[in-house]
Amino acid sequence: MLYDIRLHLHYDYAAAAGGGRHQVRVLPQTIAGVQRVIAASLSFAPIPTERADFSDFFGNSVTSIAFRDAHDTLDIRMSARVSVSRPEPGLDVSPDIHGLRAELDAVRSLSPVAPHHFLAASDHVGIDTAITAYARESLAGSAVATAVDLCNRIHGDFTYDGKATTVQTRAGDAFALKRGVCQDFSHIMIAGLRGLGIPAGYVSGFLRTIPPKGKPRLEGADAMHAWVKAWCGRDAGWQEFDPTNGMRASNDHITVGYGRDYSDVAPIVGVLKTTGGQVGEQAVDVIPVAA
The answer to whether residue 29 sits within a structural domain is yes
Residue range 158-167: mean pLDDT, rounded: 93
Percent of the chain with pLDDT over 90: 86
29 and 158 in a single domain? The answer is no
224 and 134 in a single domain? The answer is yes
59 and 186 in a single domain? The answer is no
Q: Is the pLDDT of residue 214 over 70?
A: no
pLDDT tens-digit profile of 133-152? 999 999 989 999 999 999 99
The answer to whether residue 177 sits within a structural domain is yes
41 and 67 in a single domain? The answer is yes
- Sheet (strand 20-24) strand order: 50-55, 61-67, 20-24, 268-272
The answer to whether residue 90 sits within a structural domain is no
47 and 116 in a single domain? The answer is no
Q: Is the pLDDT of residue 291 over 80?
A: no
Judged by average pLDDT, the poorest of 41-45, 64-68, 175-179, 281-285 is 281-285
* CATH number for the domain that contains residue 140: 3.10.620.30
59 and 158 in a single domain? The answer is no
Position 223 scores a pLDDT of: 77
The answer to whether residue 14 sits within a structural domain is yes
10 and 154 in a single domain? The answer is no
Q: Which residues contact 72 (CB under 8 A, 6 or more apart)?
A: 12, 13, 15, 16, 17
214 and 132 in a single domain? The answer is yes
**Greater confidence, 18 or 193?**
193
Q: Is the pLDDT of residue 14 over 80?
A: yes
Percent of the chain with pLDDT over 70: 95
- Under the banding of pLDDT at 50, 70 and 90, the label for residue 217 is low
Position 215 scores a pLDDT of: 62
* CATH number for the domain that contains residue 24: 2.60.40.2250
256 and 276 in a single domain? The answer is no
130 and 149 in a single domain? The answer is yes
138 and 177 in a single domain? The answer is yes
Could you tell me where the DSSP H helices lie in the chain?
97-105, 129-136, 143-157, 171-177, 182-196, 262-265
Residue range 26-33: mean pLDDT, rounded: 95
- Give the residue among 11, 9, 32 at the shortest CA–CA distance from 20: 11
Domain, as residue range, for 274 = 2-85+267-288
**Whole-prediction pTM:** 0.94
The domain tally of the chain equals 2
**Phi and psi at residue 290, to the nearest 5°:** -65, 130
258 and 118 in a single domain? The answer is yes
